[in-house]
Structure 1
Amino acid sequence: METSITVRNAKLSDAPRILEIYTYYVENTVITFEYDVPSLEEFENRMIDIMKKYPYLVIERDGRIEGYAYAHAFVGRAAYDWASELTIYLDHNAKKCGLGRKLYEALAERLKDMGVLNLYACIGYPKVEDEYLNKNSAQFHEHLGFRLCGTFENCGYKFNRWYDMIWMEKIIGEHTDDQAPVKPYSYTE
C-alpha cells in the first residue's frame, strides 16, 4: 500500500492536532523553552497572528497530520521584512522519515515566492546531550543548507539545567539595492 504525503496550508480546525504535537515537546524536551502548554484558545490565537502575513503549513501522511511548520517575523521592524524565523515540529514518532525535509522545503519555497531572502532558526543546543535535548535539530538544519551564525551561552533554563541557543541562517534569494517589498502570504489555493 502506497503512503500518501500532503503538505497544505494549516486551518484553525487543525489546531487541536497541532497542539497535541507541540505538547509533547513542551512537557518532555528543551526543543521549546516554553514551560507550560498553551490553552487551545491561546494556540489558535498564535496561529491567527502568524497567518496574517506568513505561511503556516501542515504535513499529512495518509490523512493524519504528522507535523507543522511556520514562519514569522524575524525582529518585527520594517528593515527586517526580508528575513523570517522558521519553526517546525513533527510528531515525536514521525522523525527520520523525510517528512521534516519535505515540510521545510515547502515552507522555504512559499517564503521565496513572497520575496523573503534570509531564513533563520533559533535552536536549543546542549553542551552535553541529555534526555531533554540532543543536536538533531542543528544537524537537520545543516543538512538543509543552514549554517551556524551565532551562539548564546547558557541562555535557556528548563528542567533545572542551562542550555545554549544557536542561530542558524540560510540565504534563499538575491539581495539588491532596490529590493522589492515582501508580499504577505496568500491562503487562497
Structure 2
Amino acid sequence: MTEELVIRMATILDAPKLLEIYAPYVRETAITFEYTVPTVQEFESRIAKILTRYPYLVAEKEGEILGYAYVSSFKERAAYDWAVETTIYINQNQRGSGVGKRLYLKLEEIVKRQNIINMNACIAYPNPGSIAFHEHLGYKTVAHFTKCGYKLDRWYDMIWMEKILEEHPEKPKEFIPINKLFIE
C-alpha cells in the first residue's frame, strides 16, 4: 500500500531537508535572488520567524519531504495584515506532480481562517512554469518591474501575481496569528 501525501506544519527540525530542496534553486536558478545558500541555523531561524504569525507547510510522502510552502508579511506595517507574500519550493524531481498545488490549496485554507484576503506571489521573469502554475490557481499578474534583479550574469524582470480569496469587506475581521489559530 502506497502512503498518501501528508501536508503538515513545518518545525525547525525540518530545516536540513528543506534546505536540501532550496539549495539548488539558489545555486542554479533565478527563482530565488539569494546568491549564497544559507546555513541550517539561518534556515531554522527563518522557519521559526514565519511560524510566529503564518503557516509554514511541508509535503511529505513515505517520510520524504517533497516540498514546502509558506506565507510571510507582504509589508511589515499593521495596515497590511490582510495581505501576504507566498513562497513555494518543490524538490526538482517532483515538479509537475501536484505537490505544489496541494501545498498552495492548504495554505489558502489556513490563511482564510486567519482572515487574510490577498495572496501575492513575487516571480522572477521570465519563468513560464511558475506563471502558469499561479494562473492555474487563479492568480493574475498585477505588476511588472523591469530589470530589477541581477543573477547568473543577467538581468531579470520581476512580476507580482495576486489572488483575492474573498470580497474585501468595509471593515476587515481581525488578523489571527497562526499560533493563536491552532492553540486556542
Same fold (TM over 0.5): yes
Return the match for 1:149 from 142, 158, 164.
142
Q: For 1:166 and 1:155, locate their aligned partners in 2 and report how far apart those are by CA, in whole Å.
A: 10
Q: Is the Cα contact below 8 Å between 1:31 and 1:124 reproduced in 2?
A: yes
Return the match for 1:135 from 108, 128, 140.
128
Cα offset, 1:180, TM superposition = 1.2
In the superposition, the TM-score normalised over structure 1's length comes to 0.93
Cα offset, 1:179, TM superposition = 1.3
Q: For 1:28 and 1:188, locate their aligned partners in 2 and report how far apart those are by CA, in whole Å.
A: 39
Correspondence for 2:43: 43
Bigger mean CA offset, 1-10 vs 147-156: 1-10
Q: For 1:28 and 1:165, locate their aligned partners in 2 and report how far apart those are by CA, in whole Å.
A: 18
SS in 1 for 2:92: coil
* Aligned ranges 1:39-188 → 2 under 5 Å: 39-126=39-126, 134-186=127-179, 187-188=182-183
SS in 1 for 2:135: helix
How many aligned residue pairs are there? 182
Q: Is the Cα contact below 8 Å between 2:70 and 2:107 reproduced in 1?
A: yes
Kindly, what percent of the aligned residue pairs are identical? 50
Q: For 1:91 and 1:173, locate their aligned partners in 2 and report how far apart those are by CA, in whole Å.
A: 31
SS in 2 for 1:180: coil
Q: For 2:15 and 2:144, locate their aligned partners in 1 and report how far apart those are by CA, in whole Å.
A: 32
Cα offset, 1:70, TM superposition = 0.5
Cα offset, 1:2, TM superposition = 2.7
Q: For 1:116 and 1:65, locate their aligned partners in 2 and report how far apart those are by CA, in whole Å.
A: 27
Q: What is the CA RMSD across the aligned residues, in angstroms?
A: 1.3
Which runs of 5 or more structure 2 residues have no equivalent in the other structure?
none
Q: Is the Cα contact below 8 Å between 2:11 and 2:48 reproduced in 1?
A: no
Q: Is the Cα contact below 8 Å between 2:85 and 2:122 reproduced in 1?
A: yes
Cα offset, 1:62, TM superposition = 1.8
Which runs of 5 or more structure 1 residues have no equivalent in the other structure?
127-133
Q: For 1:110 and 1:53, locate their aligned partners in 2 and report how far apart those are by CA, in whole Å.
A: 12
Please list every run of at least 4 consecutive aligned residues from structure 1 whose deviation after the TM superposition is greater than 6 angstroms.
none
SS in 2 for 1:93: helix
Q: Is the Cα contact below 8 Å between 2:54 and 2:71 reproduced in 1?
A: yes
